[in-house]
Amino acid sequence: MIKKLLKEFKEFALRGNVIDMAVGVIIGAAFGKVVTAVIDIFLQPLLDSLPKLEAGGTGFAGSIMSFLGVVVEFLLTALVLFAIIKAMNAAQNLAKKPEPPKEKPRTCPFCCSEIAKEATRCPHCTSELPKYKAA
Protein backbone atom coordinates (compact mmCIF):
# COMPACT_ATOMS: atom_id res chain seq x y z
CA MET A 1 0.00 0.00 0.00
CA ILE A 2 2.72 2.50 1.00
CA LYS A 3 5.00 1.34 -1.84
CA LYS A 4 2.20 1.99 -4.32
CA LEU A 5 1.60 5.43 -2.80
CA LEU A 6 5.31 6.27 -2.96
CA LYS A 7 5.48 5.08 -6.57
CA GLU A 8 2.52 7.28 -7.53
CA PHE A 9 4.06 10.25 -5.72
CA LYS A 10 7.38 9.70 -7.50
CA GLU A 11 5.62 9.62 -10.90
CA PHE A 12 3.75 12.81 -10.00
CA ALA A 13 6.81 14.65 -8.69
CA LEU A 14 9.00 13.72 -11.65
CA ARG A 15 6.41 14.61 -14.25
CA GLY A 16 7.73 17.38 -16.50
CA ASN A 17 5.14 20.05 -15.76
CA VAL A 18 5.58 19.74 -11.98
CA ILE A 19 9.33 20.24 -12.30
CA ASP A 20 8.76 23.18 -14.68
CA MET A 21 6.37 24.73 -12.17
CA ALA A 22 8.90 24.33 -9.34
CA VAL A 23 11.61 25.96 -11.44
CA GLY A 24 9.21 28.79 -12.27
CA VAL A 25 8.43 29.39 -8.60
CA ILE A 26 12.12 29.46 -7.68
CA ILE A 27 13.03 31.78 -10.55
CA GLY A 28 10.02 33.97 -9.72
CA ALA A 29 11.16 34.31 -6.12
CA ALA A 30 14.69 35.16 -7.21
CA PHE A 31 13.49 37.80 -9.67
CA GLY A 32 11.15 39.15 -7.02
CA LYS A 33 14.24 39.91 -4.92
CA VAL A 34 15.97 41.56 -7.88
CA VAL A 35 12.93 43.71 -8.62
CA THR A 36 12.61 44.65 -4.94
CA ALA A 37 16.25 45.76 -4.97
CA VAL A 38 15.69 47.86 -8.11
CA ILE A 39 12.69 49.52 -6.50
CA ASP A 40 14.49 50.14 -3.20
CA ILE A 41 17.63 51.51 -4.88
CA PHE A 42 16.25 53.44 -7.85
CA LEU A 43 12.50 54.06 -7.60
CA GLN A 44 11.98 54.61 -3.89
CA PRO A 45 14.32 57.64 -3.78
CA LEU A 46 12.32 59.15 -6.65
CA LEU A 47 9.06 58.53 -4.82
CA ASP A 48 10.53 59.92 -1.60
CA SER A 49 11.62 63.10 -3.38
CA LEU A 50 8.01 63.90 -4.33
CA PRO A 51 6.35 66.44 -2.07
CA LYS A 52 4.60 64.83 0.88
CA LEU A 53 0.92 65.52 1.45
CA GLU A 54 1.36 64.99 5.18
CA ALA A 55 4.30 65.41 7.51
CA GLY A 56 6.60 62.39 7.40
CA GLY A 57 4.73 60.70 4.54
CA THR A 58 2.59 58.63 6.87
CA GLY A 59 -1.13 58.19 6.76
CA PHE A 60 -2.99 58.25 3.46
CA ALA A 61 -0.09 59.62 1.38
CA GLY A 62 2.31 57.04 2.79
CA SER A 63 -0.20 54.28 2.04
CA ILE A 64 -0.54 55.47 -1.55
CA MET A 65 3.24 55.47 -1.97
CA SER A 66 3.49 51.96 -0.49
CA PHE A 67 0.73 50.74 -2.79
CA LEU A 68 2.39 52.30 -5.84
CA GLY A 69 5.66 50.63 -4.87
CA VAL A 70 3.97 47.22 -4.69
CA VAL A 71 2.21 47.76 -8.04
CA VAL A 72 5.47 48.79 -9.71
CA GLU A 73 7.23 45.77 -8.20
CA PHE A 74 4.49 43.46 -9.52
CA LEU A 75 4.60 44.98 -13.00
CA LEU A 76 8.38 44.75 -13.21
CA THR A 77 8.33 41.13 -11.98
CA ALA A 78 5.66 40.23 -14.53
CA LEU A 79 7.61 41.99 -17.30
CA VAL A 80 10.85 40.17 -16.49
CA LEU A 81 9.12 36.78 -16.26
CA PHE A 82 7.31 37.46 -19.55
CA ALA A 83 10.62 38.24 -21.24
CA ILE A 84 12.26 35.10 -19.85
CA ILE A 85 9.37 32.83 -20.85
CA LYS A 86 9.25 34.40 -24.31
CA ALA A 87 12.99 33.80 -24.74
CA MET A 88 12.68 30.20 -23.52
CA ASN A 89 9.80 29.54 -25.94
CA ALA A 90 11.81 31.04 -28.81
CA ALA A 91 14.77 28.81 -27.91
CA GLN A 92 12.52 25.74 -27.82
CA ASN A 93 11.05 26.64 -31.21
CA LEU A 94 14.55 26.92 -32.68
CA ALA A 95 15.40 23.46 -31.36
CA LYS A 96 12.30 21.85 -32.91
CA LYS A 97 12.67 20.27 -36.32
CA PRO A 98 10.15 21.43 -38.89
CA GLU A 99 7.48 18.88 -39.65
CA PRO A 100 7.40 17.53 -43.20
CA PRO A 101 4.38 18.66 -45.19
CA LYS A 102 1.46 16.28 -44.85
CA GLU A 103 0.23 14.42 -47.88
CA LYS A 104 -3.27 15.24 -49.03
CA PRO A 105 -5.64 12.38 -48.24
CA ARG A 106 -6.94 10.38 -51.20
CA THR A 107 -10.59 10.94 -52.00
CA CYS A 108 -13.07 8.85 -53.92
CA PRO A 109 -13.78 10.48 -57.32
CA PHE A 110 -17.42 9.37 -57.09
CA CYS A 111 -18.56 10.24 -53.55
CA CYS A 112 -15.63 12.48 -52.45
CA SER A 113 -15.11 10.51 -49.22
CA GLU A 114 -11.64 10.11 -47.75
CA ILE A 115 -10.18 6.68 -48.48
CA ALA A 116 -6.96 4.76 -47.86
CA LYS A 117 -4.19 5.20 -50.44
CA GLU A 118 -4.07 1.50 -51.26
CA ALA A 119 -7.85 0.99 -51.55
CA THR A 120 -9.21 -0.55 -54.77
CA ARG A 121 -12.84 0.09 -53.79
CA CYS A 122 -14.42 2.96 -51.89
CA PRO A 123 -15.68 1.76 -48.48
CA HIS A 124 -18.50 4.31 -48.62
CA CYS A 125 -20.01 3.98 -52.08
CA THR A 126 -18.29 0.68 -53.09
CA SER A 127 -17.22 2.13 -56.45
CA GLU A 128 -14.21 0.59 -58.11
CA LEU A 129 -11.31 3.01 -57.90
CA PRO A 130 -8.58 3.73 -60.44
CA LYS A 131 -5.04 2.71 -59.45
CA TYR A 132 -3.42 5.11 -57.01
CA LYS A 133 -0.55 7.14 -58.43
CA ALA A 134 1.87 8.73 -55.97
CA ALA A 135 2.28 12.47 -56.51
pTM of structure: 0.39
Question: How far is residue 70 CA from its own chain's centroid?
Answer: 25
- What is the number of structural domains in the chain? 2
Task: Convert the pLDDT of each residue in 9-65 to its tens digit.
Answer: 877 766 667 667 777 788 778 777 877 777 778 777 776 776 655 555 556 666 777
Residues 6 and 49 in one domain: yes
- Residue 87's CATH number: 1.10.1200
DSSP-assigned letter for residue 106 = E
Q: What is the pLDDT of residues 81-120, one digit of tens each?
A: 788 888 888 888 887 777 777 878 888 888 888 888 888 8
Query: Residues 72, 114: one domain?
Result: no
Residue 4 has pLDDT above 80, yes or no: yes
How far is the C-alpha of 56 from the C-alpha of 58, rounded, in Å?
6
pLDDT value at position 11? 77
Q: Which domain holds residue 117?
A: 101-135
